Amino acid sequence: QKEVEQDPGPLSVPEGAIVSLNCTYSNSAFQYFMWYRQYSRKGPELLMYTYSSGNKEDGRFTAQVDKSSKYISLFIRDSQPSDSATYLCAMRTYQFYFGTGTSLTVIP
Amino acid sequence: DTAVSQTPKYLVTQMGNDKSIKCEQNLGHDTMYWYKQDSKKFLKIMFSYNNKELIINETVPNRFSPKSPDKAHLNLHINSLELGDSAVYFCASSHEGSGELFFGEGSRLTVL
C-alpha cells in the first residue's frame, strides 16, 4: 500500500464550479499536510500547508485535514481556467511523501 | 530573485554519457533534496542533504552521486546514462522539520 493515495483524475469542470480534491494516507505519524499546484513544464508550487486537523482558508482555496479518518481535501471555489494544473498532495514525517497528483482542467 | 534555481533546464544526451545538474537556493534553508518525476507526474525522493550531510539516500543506482559543497548548493552527477533515466529532476529546499518545501523549475533529461 502506498503511503499516500490520490485519485489521478483527470478532472474536468466548468468555470465557476467548486472543485474538491482528495487524498488518503496510512501513516498516522504524518504531521504536516500540503497541497502543491504544478503547471505543465513547471516546478510544483506550494499552495497551502497545515499542521493540524481542521480547515485553513486562503482566498478561493480551503484545505481540510481529518486526522481521525486520515483524509485531506483541497476545495477550490469559483474555479478559473488559470486553475487548470496538476494538484499534488504531500505529507511529511522526517521526509516528504507525495500523492500521484490529480490533473484538473477548468473549461471556460 | 529565483528562490531555488537549477541548471540546465534541458539536457539531451546519448546513452552512456555522464551529465551534471546544479542547484542553488537563496532561501537560507538548511535542507536540500533531489526528486525524480516520471511521465505520470509521480515525485520520488532520491536524496536529501541537511547542512551538507547526506540524510536520505533512497534506492537509487550508484551511477547517481549527489554533492553538496555548502548549504546553499546541491549538485547531481549521473554516470553512464541509461534510457530509463529520462525524467524531470527537481531540486527542492526546506528548513529541517518545516512543512514548506520549495521546488526549482526542474531539469528535463532526455537520454537517446
Q: What is the pLDDT of residues A30-45, one digit of tens each?
A: 889 999 999 999 999 9
Q: Report the helix count and the strand count for chain A, using DSSP H and E.
A: 0, 11
| Cell (9 digits) for A42 | 513547471
pLDDT average, residue stretch A14-42: 94
Tell whether B4 lies on the interface with A, counting CB pairs under 8 A. Answer: yes
Q: What is the pLDDT of residues A83-103, one digit of tens each?
A: 999 999 999 888 889 999 999
B34-66 burial code (b ≥16 CB/10 A, e <16): bbbbeeebbbebbbbbbeeeeebeeebeeebeb
Q: Which of these, A96, A105, A86, A4, lies nearest to A47 by C-alpha position?
A: A86
pLDDT for position A1: 62
pLDDT for position B57: 79
pLDDT over threshold 80, residue A2: no
Preferred mutation among A52, A98, A102, A103 to probe B, highest tally of B CBs within 10 A:
A98
Look at A49 and B105 and tell me if their CB atoms are within 8 Å: no
Distance from CA of A72 to the nearest CA of B (A): 15
Cell 483527470, residue located: A10
Alpha-carbon distance A85 to A69, whole Å? 27
Calculate Rg over the CA atoms of chain B.
Answer: 13
pLDDT for position B59: 80
Q: Which of these, B4, B16, B18, B17, lies nearest to B76 by C-alpha position?
A: B18
Q: Report the helix count and the strand count for chain B, using DSSP H and E.
A: 0, 11
**Continuous H helices in B32-82:** none
| Cell (9 digits) for B16 | 552512456
Least confident of A57-66, A87-96, B48-57, B58-67: B48-57
pLDDT band (50, 70, 90) for residue B97: confident
Alpha-carbon distance A58 to A78, whole Å? 13
pLDDT average, residue stretch B1-19: 93
Residues in chain B: 112
pLDDT average, residue stretch A68-93: 95
Mean pLDDT of chain B: 92
pLDDT for position B22: 97
Q: Which of these, B3, B34, B31, B53, lies nearest to B109 by C-alpha position?
A: B34
pLDDT band (50, 70, 90) for residue B1: low
Q: Between these two residues, B33 and B41, which has the higher pLDDT value?
A: B33
Q: How far is CA B78 from CA A41, B17, B92, B95, in A?
A: 22, 8, 18, 26
In order, the DSSP letters of chain B are --SEEEE-SEEEE-TT--EEEEEEE-S--SEEEEEEE-TT--EEEEEEEETTEEEEE-S--TTEEEEEEETTEEEEEE-S--GGG-EEEEEEEE-TT-S--EE---EEEEE-
Closest Cα in chain B to A6: B42
